[in-house]
Amino acid sequence: MAEENKVTLYGMWSSPYVKRVELALRLKGIPYEYVEEDLRNKSQLLLKLNPIHQKVPVLVHNGKAIVESLVILEYIDETWKTGPQLLPEDPYKRSQVRFWASYLQQVSESMVSVLKTSGEAQEKAIKEVTEKLKLLEEGLKGFFPNGFPNSFDTENVGLLEVVICSHLGANEAQEEALGVKVITPEKTPLIYSSITALTEIPAVKAASIPQEKVVAFLKFFREKALKSSAE
Amino acid sequence: MEDKVVLLDYWPSSYGMRVRIALAEKGIKYEAREENLADKSPLLLEMNPVHKMIPVLIHNGKPISESLILLQYIDEVWHHTSPLLPSDPYQRSQARFSADYIDKKIYSLGKRVWKEKGEKQEATKKEFLEGLRTIEGELGDKPYFGGEDFGFVDVVLVPLTSWFYSFEICGNFSIEAECPKLVAWARRCMERDSVSKSLPHPQKIYAFVLELKQKYGL
């Protein structure tokens, strides 16, 4: 790969924010080098590329670093015209995609709260995430008034679908780790069917992590969080 | 068909001010509707059911909310005049990054610094000033964040400067002493009509802060 066009992604395998960027690169057929970072022992290079936040993902293109996953996704969409267009042409539709992608992040953060708590605190977190999922379900109806297509073409995958996949794609693993179901065909039919259809797309399947590994990671993450909040 | 633009706003909101500035920069005529956040209108609740917050722009009946999303919408629809974002994808990514940083590390802390007391306030002050110093570093010696021209990041940050006086009194510190280049930049922005007509006078904001403090015992 010529140095000028070289694309490198610095990431961590379990981060949904990194997954967003990975999916976008794969869907657009952009060749890239992936570098796994150990977030407990950040490399000097990562600290140099992202001095302000010191986080992953970091995309390096033409020797320049871009950080913050949504910023990276828009950069990718504006720079490479191959593959699906992540954002629609129409400014109003674009604003809606950006709004719901941002809201999905809030839903995801609420789910992390469920993972990190137990007892009463967890019940409260479950209530909060259920409320947010209801609003998300309503919002998605605006994009899919006739329900989610059973088989989703790669060409139609956009930014919103990428974010759904990245954050909610491991839904089954989360249910297994927690024993709590918040996304179901009865309560959240559109969200549920979107996850089912999207995780079948070849580019998404190719990037997916085996369920056991995700479950083990989530259980470990939960134990650690409960332990540190008890101290 | 003429464009109908309505802005649901609240005069002390720095998020609302961002949209006012953008609309003024582009010379867009609009109807401004002041919301009473203690008694939200049915229109606001209908147009922004998820967050129930201002600013909300209603363009030919369709609502758009969240100030950064709004600014990009305005820039994309009315792209022929006074562009806010640069055209180069890398520079756009840098502008979006700075805007995100300003929201996460400056606006969010500003909201707390005037309300808190004692040790908690000292910690918030420290973080707030760190954020300002970092963004001042991004400005460097340029007249505006985008370079020679007033742009996206300037619109995103400048509204908070109307609250600086209140932060300084409540927090007992001087922003000019810590970030002189930033204060000079704010004065430069205020020379533009779009900014000076969109920002309330700092004294008016302070009177509002005192009212809130009294009302909520802060």
pLDDT, position A1: 47
Half-sphere exposure of A12 (CA within 13 A, CB side): 19
Contacts of B152 (CB under 8 A, 6+ apart): B71, B75, B84, B85, B95, B99, B145, B146
Phi, psi dihedral angles at A149 (to 5 degrees):
-60, 140
Residues of A with CB under 8 A from a CB of B: 52, 61-62, 64, 66-68, 70-72, 74-75, 78-79, 91-92, 94-95, 98-99, 102-103, 135, 138-139
Indicate the range of A204-218, B87-101, B111-125 predicted with least confidence.
A204-218
Class of domain B5-77: alpha beta
| Whole-number Cα distances in Å, B156 to A53, A77, A109, B180, B184 | 20, 23, 25, 19, 17
Report the DSSP pairing between strands B62-65 and B56-59.
antiparallel
Q: Give the containing element (helix H, strand E) for B57.
A: strand B56-59
pTM above 0.90, yes or no: yes
Q: Any CB–CB contact under 8 A between B93 and chain A? A: yes
Q: Is B134 on the interface with A (CB under 8 A)?
A: yes
Amino acid occupying residue B82: S
For residue A144, CA distances in Å to A41, A88, A139, A141 come to 43, 15, 9, 5
Chain B's closest residue to A96, CA to CA, is B64
Q: Which of B59, B62, B97 sits opposite A68 (nearest CB)?
A: B97
Residue of B49, B73, B93 with shortest CB distance to A91: B73
Q: Which CATH class is domain B89-215?
A: mainly alpha
**pLDDT (tens digit, 9 = 90+) per residue, B134-183?**
999 999 999 999 899 999 999 999 999 999 999 999 999 999 999 999 99
Mean pLDDT of B28-51: 95
Q: What is the mean pLDDT of chain A?
A: 91
Longest dimension (CA), chain A: 56
Domain locations in chain B?
A: 5-77, 89-215
pLDDT of residue A2: 53
* Helix (H), strand (E) at residue B134: helix B118-139
Domains and CATH numbers, chain A: 3-79 (3.40.30.10), 91-230 (1.20.1050.10)
B92 touches chain A (CB under 8 A): yes
Chain B environment of A64 (Cβ under 8 Å): 90
What ipTM describes this predicted complex? 0.94
Contact A28, A85 (CB under 8 A): no
Divide the 231 residues of chain A into consecutive groups of 10 and give the mean pLDDT of each group: 78 93 94 93 91 93 95 97 93 96 91 91 93 94 86 84 90 86 91 90 87 90 89 71
Number of CB pairs, chain A paired with chain B, less than 8 A apart: 58
How crowded is residue A150: how many other Cβ atoms within 10 Å of its Cβ? 9
